[in-house]
């Protein structure tokens, strides 16, 4: 994850909290191999990550490598656990995570 000062260009994904392990994709062309720019709302920083999967609008991108069983952090809180290893830049959704509620 590369941190830098926020710029005026529209982000590809949003991150709510500096401690989050995922960002939410907010554009439709997040394809494998593309470098995506994210905005960290808490610190007003931008980060860049290369997508290693196609990631649909509204789905999550892993901000760092996660092992199977790791907590998924969003809004600064654990929202689920991984069910398989997930690499930085990978698509994170119901195929490789499980909610904390069930």
Classify residue 33 by its DSSP letter.
T
Boundaries of domain holding 31? 2-99
Phi-psi region of 19 (alpha: psi -120 to 50; beta: other; left: phi over 0): alpha
- Residues forming a β-bridge with 49: 36
Q: How confident is the model at residue 1 (pLDDT cuts 50, 70, 90)?
A: very low
Q: How many structural domains comprise the chain?
A: 1
Strands 97-99 vs 22-25: parallel, antiparallel or unpaired: unpaired
pLDDT in tens, 25-63: 999 999 999 999 999 999 999 999 999 999 999 999 999
Cα-flanking dihedrals φ and ψ of residue 25, to 5°?
-70, 130
Residue 8 is part of a domain; what is its CATH number?
Answer: 2.30.130.110
Q: Smallest Cα–Cα separation from 51: which of 68, 38, 39?
A: 38
């Amino acid at each position: 994850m590369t941190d830098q000062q926020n710029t005026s260009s529209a982000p590809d994904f949003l991150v709510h909290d500096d401690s989050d392990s995922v960002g939410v994709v907010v554009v439709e062309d997040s394809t494998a191999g593309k470098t995506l720019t994210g905005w960290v709302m808490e610190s007003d920083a931008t980060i860049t990550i290369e997508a290693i999967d196609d990631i649909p609008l509204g789905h999550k991108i892993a901000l760092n490598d996660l092992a199977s069983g790791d907590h998924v952090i969003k809004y600064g809180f654990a929202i689920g656990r991984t069910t398989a290893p997930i690499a930085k830049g990978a698509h994170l959704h119901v195929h490789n995570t499980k909610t904390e509620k069930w």
